[in-house]
């Protein structure tokens, strides 16, 4: 099973984002815009995990998640990986409370459960919006989206998600754990 841990913004936040990007979808040749059902903020990517490891992984992730407080976040700022000028990925950034400690805890829990760690990249909180097969100059698109700043929201749950690859990528939520109440709000 191909698995990852993620935060999913609430529908009203995704509605705002959807309205902001709608005029641009399909305007850049070669840029593929997967459906909104795939939108998430990856905390940790685990790659292929054997089914027998799932119970231990779920147990470890539950413990890791419960040690962290809910996060106050917002979607803000667009960019491209590896750079806006030579991008294969268009993303929207995430501001607010730092997710780094949570991401590290989730990765550590997965490592202890024996889940493969195939993603050694530095954590950069973002939500992927579009992909290109070849490097594309996204600077004009990113500039045209620069006025967007999403409403604040509280991330209260972490999901374990299975990725079904193929012509149409599909995600399946396998488990969900609540972050601790932070006492704010």
- Would 172 be classed as within a structural domain? yes
Number of domains in the chain: 1
- Residue ranges making up the domain that contains 45: 2-178
pLDDT of residue 69: 97
- Would 183 be classed as within a structural domain? no
pLDDT above 90 covers a percentage of the chain that reads 85
- Would 53 be classed as within a structural domain? yes
- If 0-12 CB within 10 Å is exposed, 13-18 middle and 19+ buried, where does residue 135 land? middle
pLDDT of residue 39: 95
pLDDT of residue 122: 81
pLDDT of residue 118: 54
Q: What digits encode the pLDDT tens for the residues 115-162?
A: 866 556 788 999 999 999 999 999 999 999 999 999 999 999 999 999
- Would 42 be classed as within a structural domain? yes
pLDDT of residue 114: 85
- Would 185 be classed as within a structural domain? no
pLDDT of residue 116: 63
- Cis status, amide bond into 78, omega within 30 of 0: no
Residue with tokens 């973002």: 126
- Would 81 be classed as within a structural domain? yes
Q: Which residues are catalytic?
A: 40, 126
- Would 155 be classed as within a structural domain? yes
Digitized pLDDT (tens) for each residue of the chain, 185 residues in all: 999 999 999 999 999 999 999 999 999 999 999 889 999 999 999 989 999 999 999 999 999 999 999 999 999 999 999 899 999 999 999 999 999 999 999 999 999 998 866 556 788 999 999 999 999 999 999 999 999 999 999 999 999 999 998 777 889 999 999 999 855 44
- Would 184 be classed as within a structural domain? no
Cα-based distances in Å from 112 to 6, 16, 41, 109, 132: 18, 38, 22, 5, 35
The CATH number given to whatever domain includes residue 30 is 3.90.1140.10
pTM over 0.75: yes
């Amino acid at each position: 099973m191909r698995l990852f841990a993620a935060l999913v913004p609430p529908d009203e936040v995704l509605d705002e984002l959807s309205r902001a990007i709608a005029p641009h979808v399909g305007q850049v040749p070669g840029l593929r815009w997967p459906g909104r059902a795939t939108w998430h903020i990856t905390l940790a990517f685990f790659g292929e995990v054997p089914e027998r490891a799932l119970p231990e992984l779920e147990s470890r992730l539950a413990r890791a998640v419960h040690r962290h407080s809910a996060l106050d976040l917002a979607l803000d700022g667009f960019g491209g990986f590896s750079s806006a000028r030579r991008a294969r990925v268009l993303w929207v950034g995430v501001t607010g409370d730092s997710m780094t400690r949570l991401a590290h805890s989730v990765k550590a829990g997965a490592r202890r459960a024996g889940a493969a760690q195939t993603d050694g990249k530095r954590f950069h909180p973002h939500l992927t919006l579009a992909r290109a097969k070849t490097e594309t100059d996204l600077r004009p698109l990113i500039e045209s989206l620069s006025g967007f700043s999403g409403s604040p929201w509280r991330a209260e749950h972490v999901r374990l998600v299975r990725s079904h690859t193929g012509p149409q990528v599909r995600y399946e939520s396998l488990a969900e754990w609540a972050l601790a109440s932070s006492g704010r709000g």
